[in-house]
Amino acid sequence: MSDMAIPTRSPSMFWGATIICGTVVGAGMFVLPVVMAGAWFGWALLILTFSWICMLISGLMFHRVSQHYPLETGYDKIVRDVLGRNWAEINGLSLVFVLGILTYAYISAVGPVYDHSLSILTGKTVSSSEAKIMLSLTVAAIVWLGTSSIGRMMSVLLITKIVLLLILFGGLFTTVNVDYLLDNQNPAASYWPYMLGIVPFCLASFGYHGNISGLISYYNGDHRRVKRCLCTGTAVALVIYLFWIICTMGNLPRSAFPEIAAQGGDIAALMHAFSLRGYAAGMSLLFSTFSHFAVICSFVGVTAGLVDYISDRFNFPATRTGRLKATAITFLPPLSLSLFFPDGFVTAIGYAGLIATIWAVIVPGLLHLKMRSRQDSGYRRGQWDGLQLSMIIVFAALNILSWALSEFDLLPVY
């Protein structure tokens, strides 16, 4: 996410924090209460918070390693230098796969949604393919302009999202039923068997690691400010998730969620469940607006991280031409696939959580471990290194185990 012209004065922490928060908080947040219904509020709160801590630790580990490299040194070069060529290739393939699949999915999924909105705005019929192209060109232009434009765009989108979220669901917060949250109606209910199944969703809820290198360049090597951006941005995301989970689980009994899941488990099913209880009437326009902002926000953040990686991997210069090349490589393949194979991402995205564990959890931990063993690196051991590495290992193992059990249909489904 490096700019062509690095500002001489370090920008406000607000911009960086909004990039991180805007990247991780997308429309996918709406499915969290549904996938967490089996484990319910207590376990969901525990696993989500644990996941946030682990993903923050892994991001800070990579950030700490990057402090020992010159400005503009990206993820690929650092991994190649510390862990070697093989790990660099594994890390690169996993990163490109996950962010590429997400880009493919965003373009494919939102095209049919935006064609309706664009038709209303323009007064002309806009096809799904035309909507995909227009959306991709718009996001590509924002990403190409660099981190300054992304930060300002993200701040507008994020603030709008939060305002709309409060308007849409703020009323639910005032009517939270503690008995629903604690599931007091079912004292003999079992929750822990469903715990493992929500871990991959929690990992995906805090994926921001592709944006760290760009933030370091944006803040001209001000690592203290970058660290604050990572902590603040992810913490705000956690608060937003908790607000949404409390609003839903505090107003809908656990017994209502199997039916919601049977109806698709999406926001439409949730809104229908709320409407049956006298809520959400006349909210369709506000929700549609919120969904648009949520999708664009995450779309920009994900593709910005991929552009950064591609620029670093292919040694493109930090110029408008160099960034244009990286932007074209980022957007053209997934856009082409979306136009000709709109549903092709469905199978591949099932592996995204597993593969994201490699570059977002395992590789940062290995970088940190390897740098500690280098005698000439000047890399100092932290007071809590052992505990942090243990948490990373456990979190990675839980994600891999969850995926494996899910593949063989061994995970219980609520």
Is residue 323 scored above 50 in pLDDT? yes
Rounded-to-integer distance, Cα 306 and Cα 227, Å: 21
pLDDT tens across 266-315, in order? 777 777 787 777 765 556 666 777 777 777 888 888 898 899 889 988 98
The answer to whether residue 1 scores a pLDDT higher than 50 is no
Per-residue pLDDT at 285: 66
Residues 174-220: pLDDT tens digits? 889 999 999 988 888 889 889 999 999 899 889 899 889 889 988 98
CA–CA separation, 400 and 197 (whole Å):
11
pLDDT value of residue 116: 63
Give the pLDDT mean for 5-11: 55
- For residue 226, the model assigns a pLDDT of 94
Please give the Cα distance from 206 to 203 (Å, whole number): 6
- The amino acid at residue 209 is H
* % pLDDT > 90, the chain: 38
CB 307 within 8 A of CB 79: no
Task: List domains and CATH numbers for the chain.
Answer: 13-407 (1.20.1740.10)
| Residue 401 structure tokens | 């185990």
CA gap 28, 23 in Å, rounded: 11
Percent with pLDDT over 70 in the chain: 88
Q: Nearest to residue 291, comparing CAs of 261, 266, 260?
A: 266
pLDDT on residue 9: 62
Residue whose pair of structure tokens reads 């629903």 in the numeric block: 180
Find, among 180, 176, 172, 165, the residue nearest to 41 by Cα: 180
Mean pLDDT of the chain: 85
- Those residues whose C-beta lies under 8 Å from the C-beta of residue 181, and which sit 6 or more positions away, are 41, 246, 249, 250
